[in-house]
Structure 1
Amino acid sequence: MKKVHLVILSLVAVFLVAGCSSNEKAGGNTKEVEIQSDKALKVNWKKVTPIIEKDTGLNIKLIDTADITAYTTNIKQSLSSNTPPDVFTWWTGTQLADLVENDLVADITDEWPDLVKLGISDDLKEAMTFDGKIYGAPLNVIYNGVIYNKAIYDELGLSEPTTLDEFMDNCQKIKDAGITPIGIGGTWQSFVWPMVLMGSLDPELYDQWTSGEVGFDDARVKKVFYYWAEMIEKGYFSEQQQDQGKDLAMKEVAMALNANNWSQGLVEDYGMTLGKDVDIFVLPGVKKEDKKTIFYEISPFVISKKGDKEQALNVIKSYYSKDAQKEFAKKTGGSAITDIEIDNVITNKMLEVAGDSENYTLKLRYYEQFTPEIVNQSIDEYWKIAANPTEKQVDDSLKTIQESWVKVK
């Protein structure tokens, strides 16, 4: 009988221990915070993680997934399970709205003022706010511009363009010199040039388009895509690149539309000096006096509804410390807080113009504006246009996207 009692007591003890372990993870007593990301945090946080761990007394478990499709699938599945990550990186716009609508992420509205006091811009909350509540905190803010090889520009006597026509003239002169004017990366990058061209040709149309006020098959939208198709037909774009940085550094291409912090890779991988070997400008409008449009993206941290909110916020707050931000900026060329000196002249240049509201306007980039299904479908259709830059292909592709958009918007 004693043996039976001992066995029962042993089993109870096992279940109690297991239960305590599980509750610790769910209830906030764990010493570990799991962060999943598609932003290579194991590399970019190599010197940040020790600062946060020392500051908070927590252990940080980083899980990186490079493939965006796999990452998106993994996060959505884990959020529906009982073991989601405490924190994960995501996107703003419809992608975040989808998680909010399904009650999968934590509301941090009450904690937002504390984050602003640590140095993040209060203006950023708009991109992460739904129904008056805030659901994200920035990992960093990224501004897109035309990054160009200065040696090519200098050799050909070119200057940063002040109008769209001047930009096109530069493209033609570069092509005439036997150099591909613009490099374009593979996978998702098919949308970037239609986006920035609309920002230059008709910025108000961009707002109407992304809000659903006008469709993909609207005549004005088609006009922008015809403009892009004509540029492709003239040979202004490369084939899909495997390594944009290498092609730009080796003068295979003269320009690439990319994020300001992408420039950091040109320094680390190819020894380029920012401001001397490579620089950046915002694609100009039709007229010199037109406001230039800067497309930005926020990579937000999001806290799982089932995760440990208190500990997750402690990690995020520690990340906004000056010491952590300086290390992140050294590695990536970007930061989340505004009151910090960054050793990256391209990022500093974009921060300066982004704050010039008289001459520049900020717009959230295309990728975050539509539902994931429409974004993915449109990326595929835009590559069809890139491969066959005719007005018929433009019409067919935009019609296909519009038919899908009508069903989901």
Structure 2
Amino acid sequence: MIRSLGVASVICLALTACSSGGSAPQQAAGKTELKLYNDKGAWSKYFDEMGSLSKQQIGLSMKPVGYTDEPTYQAFIKASFRTNVKPDLFTWTTGGRLAEIVAQKQVSDTTAIWQEAIKNGDLSADLAKYYTVSGKQYCVPLNAAYWGMFYNKSVFDKYQLKPPATWDELVKVADTLKKNGVTAFYHTSVLFSFVWFEQLLAGTDPDLYDRLSAGQAKYTDPGVVDVMKRWKSMIDAGYFNNPGDKTDPGDVLKTGKAAMVSFGTWFNTSMTQRDMKAGTDYGFFVIPNVNPALPKTSMIFESGPLCSLAKAPDPDASTKYLKWWVSSSAQEKWATARGDVSANPKVAIADQAIAEVSKAAGSGEYRLVNRYFEATPPPVLTAALDGFGAFVVKPDTYQKVLTDIQAAADEYWSTHPQGN
């Protein structure tokens, strides 16, 4: 769960975690290697490959500095605003967290990069809105991802199961697995504790989901309470693993400890790292709506940014790298290595199931819903992550959890204009 850290602790953590950075400011120009600070430590191999490719193609290499603990990572980035230990490039999130650092004038303007990339067909105009703050673009897409359900094919085959087309069919799959002593779904009490809340609400009433994110609905409204009751009933039915289990979800799926894991298409990277083959060892399906009357299936969408500081050690080098990053030559390598989709429309997707989902999403077949982590204002998100984490351990507390989150929402929206 995300917790605040004191300034002294932040700086200490930053310097400890990044001992190679030193305390002296780096040279302002002439860089031939950039450091990319990121919260995706497990992706270091893929970042290294991109660094080698960029050195070949643009004469500018990149070295990743990866974190695996999200609070520590965010603390370091925010500390870099005030210290001489500054990243050349860094990963972040869109939505409220991006708007927050833009308002502090800490992140560089990438409007020109977006305009050129859209003109060249390397980025889509539809994606730009996630990176737009007050009419300007900031950062570029590190990745784009569609959320669905990854499933263990050997488990499904053993019990003669197939990907469900309706919510009722999904429940029948879960019941079958439970009867045979198999845990149906993965969930967790830390960081990704919001996953089932967003999926159930978006699949029940996506308009309510959007209003909630904009402060135009309350967490204590009947529709939200009903979603929590449904979530509770699924936990009570025994469909989920122990939320306190620290086993990596990639290992959970590979071993069949849980038959299904809901994540973005970036989870393909976890499968690739475990030598699992798409279509043979595991599959992917779109999660059906809870409400079958909805005109389109709701699909959670996210795009994570790659950013440069407004006062980067070498602004020209950082900008050069961001321009290269969105090119088709760079994105072909990035997407193929990880087995994921790309923000660049020109890049082909190797995984057939995900390629079909990406094509359908791009053609408007699904209702794309902004991921809860980005859609929710940071102070409300912090309260929600803590609340949902407590709920999955003690489901009977759902009413108190919603009341506590709403208190944080009331405080936030009392000083911020509500979304339209």
TM-score bucket of the superposed structures, by smaller chain: 0.7 to 0.9
Q: Provide the residue aligned with 2:210 in structure 1.
A: 207
Q: Provide the residue aligned with 2:51 in structure 1.
A: 49
Distance in 2 between the 1:378 and 1:29 partners?
Answer: 44
Distance in 2 between the 1:124 and 1:61 partners?
Answer: 27
**Deviation of 1:186 (Å):** 4.9
Q: Does the C-alpha gap of structure 1 residues 176 and 57 become closer, same or farther in structure 2, counting only changes over 3 Å?
A: same
Distance in 2 between the 1:108 and 1:264 partners?
Answer: 28
Distance in 2 between the 1:370 and 1:351 partners?
Answer: 24
**Deviation of 1:239 (Å):** 0.8
Following superposition of structure 1 onto structure 2, how do residues 9-408 of structure 1 map, counting pairs within 5 Å? 25-26=27-28, 28-40=29-41, 42-116=44-118, 117=120, 119-240=122-243, 241=245, 242-269=247-274, 271-285=275-289, 286-287=291-292, 290-307=295-312, 308-334=314-340, 335-357=342-364, 359-390=365-396, 393-408=397-412
> What is the letter of the counterpart of residue 253 of structure 1?
A
Question: Percent of aligned positions with the same letter in both sequences?
Answer: 28
**Deviation of 1:202 (Å):** 0.9
Q: Deviations over 1:189-239 (max 9, x none)?
A: 211001001111111111111111001111211111111011001101111
> What is the letter of the counterpart of residue 50 of structure 2?
V
Distance in 2 between the 1:32 and 1:274 partners?
Answer: 35
Q: Provide the residue aligned with 1:6 in structure 2.
A: none
- In the alignment, is the contact (CA less than 8 A) between 2:253 and 2:261 conserved in 1? yes
Alpha-carbon RMSD: 2.1
> What is the letter of the counterpart of residue 378 of structure 1?
A
- In the alignment, is the contact (CA less than 8 A) between 2:114 and 2:123 conserved in 1? no
Higher strand share: 1
Q: Deviations over 1:294-336 (max 9, x none)?
A: 1111111112110133221211222234443233223312233
- In the alignment, is the contact (CA less than 8 A) between 1:86 and 1:306 conserved in 2? no
**Deviation of 1:289 (Å):** 6.5
**Comparing 117-126 with 228-237, which one deviates more in the overlay?**
117-126
Number of residue pairs the alignment of both structures matches: 383
- In the alignment, is the contact (CA less than 8 A) between 1:185 and 1:244 conserved in 2? no
Distance in 2 between the 1:312 and 1:111 partners?
Answer: 12
* Alignment gaps of 5+ in structure 1: 1-20
> What is the letter of the counterpart of residue 57 of structure 2?
D
> What is the letter of the counterpart of residue 125 of structure 1?
A
- In the alignment, is the contact (CA less than 8 A) between 2:47 and 2:64 conserved in 1? no
- In the alignment, is the contact (CA less than 8 A) between 1:333 and 1:347 conserved in 2? no
Q: Does the C-alpha gap of structure 1 residues 108 and 323 become closer, same or farther in structure 2, counting only changes over 3 Å?
A: closer
**Deviation of 1:120 (Å):** 2.1
> What is the letter of the counterpart of residue 170 of structure 1?
V
Distance in 1 between the 2:367 and 2:253 partners?
Answer: 27
State the SS of the aligned residue for 1:301. strand
Q: Deviations over 1:45-74 (max 9, x none)?
A: 222112212322234343222211011010
The structure with the largest alpha-carbon Rg is 1
Distance in 2 between the 1:33 and 1:46 partners?
Answer: 12
Distance in 2 between the 1:360 and 1:330 partners?
Answer: 24
> What is the letter of the counterpart of residue 311 of structure 1?
A
State the SS of the aligned residue for 1:36. strand
**Comparing 181-190 with 29-38, which one deviates more in the overlay?**
29-38
State the SS of the aligned residue for 2:130. helix
> What is the letter of the counterpart of residue 270 of structure 2?
G
**Deviation of 1:140 (Å):** 1.0
State the SS of the aligned residue for 2:395. coil
State the SS of the aligned residue for 1:73. helix
Distance in 2 between the 1:71 and 1:58 partners?
Answer: 25
> What is the letter of the counterpart of residue 55 of structure 2?
E
Q: Does the C-alpha gap of structure 1 residues 62 and 159 become closer, same or farther in structure 2, counting only changes over 3 Å?
A: closer
TM-score (norm 2): 0.85
TM-score (norm 1): 0.88
Q: Deviations over 1:276-295 (max 9, x none)?
A: 33111121122276411111
Distance in 1 between the 2:355 and 2:75 partners?
Answer: 35
**Deviation of 1:125 (Å):** 0.9
Distance in 1 between the 2:286 and 2:234 partners?
Answer: 18
**Deviation of 1:81 (Å):** 3.0
State the SS of the aligned residue for 1:397. helix
